[in-house]
Amino acid sequence: MKKYSMETTVGIFVTIGLLLISYMTLKFGEVSFFGDDSYSLYARFTSVSGLRAGSPVEMLGLEVGKVAKLSIDQENQMALVEMKIKKGFKIYDDAIASIKTSGLIGDKYIQIDPGGSGDLLKPGGAIIETAAPLDIEELIGKYAFGDIKEDKKSDKENAE
């Protein structure tokens, strides 16, 4: 076997190291050097609690984009969500956007029902029909308090 010189070893080491770094940044960091292949759509929700920039946007169960920015629309007192949708996925103006939870305690994501009877949404357009996330705590609270009231009632009835 040929013994490599010191320079060659260092060269190989540095090259592999740089390759690994660039692999990590490209694969995991999702930095794209080849321009933006997505367009943005907007949607207004009454609440976006639990949603973060970077949360997935799904259509028919497939990931078609990401949440780019969350802000407040001061005029309408609504939360404004900017979504980046990959080019090639058509969404119409009668689409419905709703915030869902994956699993019982999982992350929040936006589910889009693309619609189909209306006009095609242009980049920068807005989805009008939206549904805020289901508040599980509120539901549990209602259920729990309802139970307690009923129990009290039945206790009273028993006492009488």
For 147, the token pair is 């139970």
Q: Within 10 Å of residue 39's Cβ, how many Cβ atoms?
A: 19
Q: Which is nearer to other proteins, 34 or 117 (CB)?
A: 34
Q: How many CA atoms lie within 13 A of 7 on its CB side?
A: 0
* Alpha carbon 55 to chain centroid, angstroms: 3
Cα distance between residue 30 and residue 111, in whole Å:
22
Tell me the closest approach of the beta carbon of residue 5 to other proteins, in angstroms.
Answer: 10
Q: How far is the CB of 92 from other proteins (least distance, A)?
A: 28
Minimum CB distance to other proteins smaller for 4 or for 143: 4
Smallest separation, CB 140 to other proteins (Å):
19
* Cβ proximity to other proteins, 10 vs 144, nearer residue: 10
| Of residues 102, 75, 84, 109, the one with CA closest to residue 30 | 84
Binding stretches for other proteins (CB under 8 A): 6-7, 9-10, 12-14, 16-18, 20-21, 23-25, 27-31, 54
Minimum Å gap between C-beta 112 and other proteins is 19
